[in-house]
Amino acid sequence: MARFRCRACAEEGSFVYDGRHACPRCGSVDVQFALSVEELADDDPLIAAMTALAESDPTEPTD
Ligand SMILES: [Zn+2]
């Protein structure tokens, strides 16, 4: 299960992530997901996005 909080319909709760980045209630993309990585496929766009962020994180200490 993943959790979501939608800023469009103000709904929050848990849902089964199906690969779409949209509110499971109203379908808006203005939604925040809290997923565990285990729920995502290796080729999920979110994985690629998180990997890119991690590799380019300017707040990461270098020393
Ligand atoms: Zn919604």
Beta-carbon neighbours within 5 Å of ion ligand 1:
6, 8-9, 23, 25-26, 28
- Which pLDDT value is given to residue 17? 82
**The model's pTM:** 0.56
Q: Given pLDDT bands bounded at 50, 70 and 90, which one contains residue 44?
A: confident
Residue type, 44: D
Of 59 and 12, which is predicted with more confidence?
12
The answer to whether 30 and 6 are in contact (CB under 8 A) is yes
Give the integer Cα–Cα distance in Å for 26 and 59.
Answer: 35
Is 31 within a domain?
yes
Ligand 1: centre distance to CA 58 (Å): 32
**Inter-residue contact 45 to 20 (CB < 8 Å):** no
Distance 59 CA to ligand 1 centre (A): 31
Instruction: Please report the pLDDT score of residue 60 as a whole number.
Output: 64
Looking up residue 35, the CATH number of its domain turns out to be 2.20.28
- φ/ψ (deg, to 5) at 39: -80, -10
| Ligand 1 centroid to residue 21 C-alpha, Å | 11
The pLDDT of 1-24, averaged and rounded, is 89
Mean pLDDT of 25-51: 83
Does residue 60 lie within any of the structural domains? no
Q: Is residue 63 part of a domain?
A: no
Q: Which domain holds residue 18?
A: 2-55
Total domains present in the chain? 1
